[in-house]
Structure 1
């Protein structure tokens, strides 16, 4: 095993696997909820995870796409309670549960280069040790964390500078740092559950939202907005969590299997995402040729970068605790990843 989390098992896992015949666990059915549809990124990851578990054990994984068990906050609570075994739990929602996770929402912190980004998620001690420990305090075990693609803004009017967002009611997830971000960018941040976003855009209750391009395409957000803007400000991150009591109660063999399935699914989803943004953009423009797509230049991004500084300061001040240590750790881990991939 070469991926993060694998070192948690090491020789013990190897020994357990060698004794499979003698220690095989009773077959179980594990429930796994998503924040997206089965054919979107989280569903593709979960399907590969399921395939690996089922091919290497007698266990079965039941996948529950978005909406079947409630909204994201609902499914995280179900995982905490042990009603389900696994859940995707994006920091945009769990940041209220574990405030330090909001570091993933800070604009212009995560690396834009995909090779650096992939190495960072695999190797970051800040993610896989410091933040992972905080999940344990909330009855959860961090199984994996991965990026889902660059976040783009979709709006009714063009955006090339913060002033263009003045007065725009912009939907954000229920995260204080996303509210801080769009406030700093000049918009009026408006927290809304995902299920209400399309209708709110359609009726002009809000005038903008952000998500990776594949999600804009699959959820047809382009039907109710007219402009897509690449500002390079963030990458959407999601996490896979397990109920802590459930995970701690697994045999060494099954814990190793879960870690291995996560590694396989991580590599698969990173490969799957190559070119996904471009393909999704093409589908949007084919469906709606009038859609305007703007990639901000470095010069145009600079005012947004300057505004982002106050969000970083708010993160450290408002979150407190380990916020500064997490931010410093991110920067050190990203620098190390850049050096490893020669960026």
Structure 2
């Protein structure tokens, strides 16, 4: 046998072996989030999947809201390693990581999109401090990202804390959010998402808060038709991985996952640009009974005064860790603005 033929046989054998090795390490990873098809978290998840499957032999199976349970259920599955990836808002993670509730201090975050985006890109609190806090709970924080300005819906227009008196407002299962609506003059009612529409329909609650795209997507305006733009914050969410799973991956896979999260982040920002306006137009076209109230600066100032109580509650809940985080948060915001 000639040297040339022998070399070709060895090369072919090596290529087959390499192919088999690649196949052996190609896995199907599971990713669950909290929203419906086409919503912001679903867009992020599919862009993440797109990058993973383009750059590796791995595949990603995505589960939307309700397919594996509520938000608390998918977090438990992620911590147990049943899911490799999970997307969950600090509104629910706050019970696990108290410091994550910082996003629910009203009027701490700006509402201008360009400022919000720049803050998420450059904030030391988000990009350096939060990964440590999540790691302590067995989670590899991949990316925190904004979804949209928070909007309140109610059974009648609201322009002052006195208008909230006697109203039960649904909140996510996070103690600080309850403190916010107590400060605003309402009675907070923690409820999982699956119960919200029915509770509004039966007047068990008289209002709730969410980004406008979610109010449109979930049909909440049908049973809670008065939209109030209070300017008190943005809805934030986070994608993360089971840390034990992540740490066991080859370095190249870890780097690929980080690149995928950055790609998904950038693509999602494109998606949310103008999304609120488009969603509001859909709501107004679908239901002529909907009212839209934008609070004036003077009206917002009244709510801002009450927000100081919530900031105090946050530092009491989280101790020195929370105080340091809040200082860094404010420093990052000042640098951005």
Tell me what 1:30 maps to.
Answer: 29
Q: CA deviation at 1:188?
A: 0.3
Looking at structure 2, the residues matched to 111 and 332 of structure 1 have their Cα atoms a distance apart, in angstroms, of: 13
Superposed CA deviations along residues 281-300 of structure 1, whole A, max 9, x for unmatched, are 00001110120001111111
Say yes or no: does 1:280 pair with 2:279. Answer: yes
The normalised TM-score by structure 1 is 0.91
Say yes or no: does 1:328 pair with 2:327. Answer: yes
Unpaired segments ≥5 residues, structure 1: 1-19, 339-343
Q: CA deviation at 1:125?
A: 1.4
Tell me what 1:3 maps to.
Answer: none
Q: CA deviation at 1:124?
A: 1.3
Tell me what 1:259 maps to.
Answer: 258
Tell me what 2:190 maps to.
Answer: 191
Tell me what 1:9 maps to.
Answer: none
Superposed CA deviations along residues 66-88 of structure 1, whole A, max 9, x for unmatched, are 00111001101111110000001
The normalised TM-score by structure 2 is 0.92
Q: CA RMSD in A?
A: 1.5
Tell me what 2:103 maps to.
Answer: 104
Tell me what 1:316 maps to.
Answer: 315
Tell me what 2:112 maps to.
Answer: 113
Looking at structure 2, the residues matched to 320 and 106 of structure 1 have their Cα atoms a distance apart, in angstroms, of: 15
Tell me what 1:53 maps to.
Answer: 52
Tell me what 2:239 maps to.
Answer: 240
Looking at structure 1, the residues matched to 95 and 310 of structure 2 have their Cα atoms a distance apart, in angstroms, of: 16
Tell me what 1:302 maps to.
Answer: 301
- Give matches, 1:130-149, under 5 Å: 130-149=129-148
Count of aligned residue pairs for this structure pair: 319
Tell me what 1:166 maps to.
Answer: 165
Looking at structure 2, the residues matched to 160 and 313 of structure 1 have their Cα atoms a distance apart, in angstroms, of: 24
Q: CA deviation at 1:321?
A: 3.8
Matched residue of 2:228: which SS?
Answer: strand
Looking at structure 1, the residues matched to 274 and 129 of structure 2 have their Cα atoms a distance apart, in angstroms, of: 32
Looking at structure 1, the residues matched to 132 and 113 of structure 2 have their Cα atoms a distance apart, in angstroms, of: 26
- Do the aligned residues in 1 keep the contact of 2:98 with 2:317 (CA within 8 Å)? no
Tell me what 1:40 maps to.
Answer: 39
Q: CA deviation at 1:38?
A: 2.3
Matched residue of 2:235: which SS?
Answer: strand
Looking at structure 2, the residues matched to 253 and 243 of structure 1 have their Cα atoms a distance apart, in angstroms, of: 17
Matched residue of 2:198: which SS?
Answer: helix
Q: CA deviation at 1:334?
A: 1.1
- When structure 1 is superposed on structure 2, of 178-187 and 36-45 the one drifting more is 36-45
Tell me what 2:76 maps to.
Answer: 77
Asked which structure has the greater CA Rg, the reply is 2
Looking at structure 1, the residues matched to 209 and 175 of structure 2 have their Cα atoms a distance apart, in angstroms, of: 15
Unpaired segments ≥5 residues, structure 2: 1-17
Superposed CA deviations along residues 123-180 of structure 1, whole A, max 9, x for unmatched, are 2111122121011111111011100000000000110111100010000001111000
Matched residue of 2:159: which SS?
Answer: coil
- When structure 1 is superposed on structure 2, of 279-288 and 109-118 the one drifting more is 109-118
Tell me what 2:65 maps to.
Answer: 66
Matched residue of 1:307: which SS?
Answer: helix
Q: CA deviation at 1:59?
A: 0.4
